[in-house]
Amino acid sequence: MIEVVNLSKKFKRTTAVDQVNFYIEPGEIVGLLGPNGAGKSTTIAMLSTLISPSEGDIFLDQKSIIKNPSELRNILGVVPQEIALYEELTAKENLQFFGSIQKMPKTLLSKRIETVLEQIGLQDEPKKLVKHYSGGMKRRLNIGVALLHEPKYLIMDEPTVGIDPQSRNHILETVKALNEQSNMAILYTSHYMEEVEFLCNRIYIMDKGRIIASGRKEEIKSVLSSENTVHVKLEKHSKGFINDLITQPTLSNVIAKEAEVTFSVAKGSNFLPMLLSLCEKNNIILTSFQVEEPTLEDVFLHLTGRALRN
Ligand SMILES: Nc1ncnc2c1ncn2[C@@H]1O[C@H](COP(=O)(O)OP(=O)(O)OP(=O)(O)O)[C@@H](O)[C@H]1O
Ligand SMILES: [Mg+2]
């Protein structure tokens, strides 16, 4: 088990990570969800022993790794947020290079390269140079590099940013397969709550350097068990209508994006007559209307007053 205890990182003026505690048990997929600047990458940089904490410690099976990082490095694979590959090499050559700097024995390395290429679905592109890869293929190879030494724990820092939906699905399926078939424990970092909801059982929500909520999906959402979220689409944007919604005492978290509005309302409350009368008053036509159970996005909004993505 990997445990992070009171971990903090201060840069000159910024406290990027502030007294963070979490753990990853063997074989589980844990989500670390947070908006830009929450401190996710800084936490990962400490976990992967690239930077040292200002305070706190990291334990591997109850042994502190601050003084002895090599044991953790052997069992940890880290997929960095920034793609780190050689553009002028093929996938295989990249894997060969990264394996050899880790001093992996030759025969083991060639075996692992074949397995990894299959795991990331790049076995059919043997001659293509990375510079001719799509963004999604590069992301997949970036994951492959971290898998070479068969880590027990895989730390992934926003592995699906900036790629097409098909590659994204491929990566999500790869993560599931690594966990189910190889029993790899995974810390999955993202600001996409749908990904975290899909993959993870236990979730930490991070904001401004702190963990602001943690637990199983259902536990986190139970914070909002008394609320529903309502999504309304309008024929056109109306400032007056939005202002009227904001001043309604029975509604909260009113967020408007052009002709779409979202708000929270107590479960079972009969808000429809009020909504319709505000539409009539502001001369607005509702084009659609949906009541939903809360999502992790709603929990984040509830806890911070801000949307996870702006
Ligand atoms: N080397 C550094 N020096 C100074 N400040 C830093 C440094 N690295 C990170 N920060 C600051 O620490 C905070 C957390 O940054 P971090 O990159 O950990 O966030 P993040 O959650 O990974 O965000 P993103 O989703 O954008 O990748 C930010 O305010 C950032 O500007
Ligand atoms: Mg980051």
**How much is the pLDDT for 203?**
94
71-109: pLDDT as tens digits: 888 899 999 999 999 999 999 999 999 999 999 999 999
Task: For the chain, give every domain's residue range.
Answer: 2-221, 226-293
Pick the CATH number of 226-293 from 3.40.50.280, 3.30.70.3190, 3.30.70.260, 3.40.50.1970: 3.30.70.3190
Compute the distance from residue 53 Cα to the ligand 1 centre, in Å. Answer: 14
Global pTM reads: 0.83
Question: DSSP 3-state assignment of 195?
Answer: helix
Query: Which ligand has an atom closest to residue 207 CA?
Result: 1
CA 125, chain centre distance (Å): 28
**How much is the pLDDT for 297?**
81
> Same topology for domains 2-221 and 226-293, yes or no?
no
**Which positions of the chain have pLDDT values less than 70?**
309-310
Sequence-distant (6+) residues with CB within 8 A of 96 are 109, 113
Q: Is the CB of 126 under 6 A from ligand 1?
A: no
Q: Is the CB of 309 under 6 A from ligand 1?
A: no
Alpha-helical runs (H) found in 148-189: 165-182
Residue 216 phi/psi, 5-degree rounding, is -75, 155
Does the domain formed by 2-221 have CATH 3.30.70.640? no
Opening angle at CA 279, ends 292 and 309, nearest 5: 45
105-162: pLDDT as tens digits: 999 999 999 999 999 999 988 889 999 999 999 999 999 999 999 999 999 999 998 8
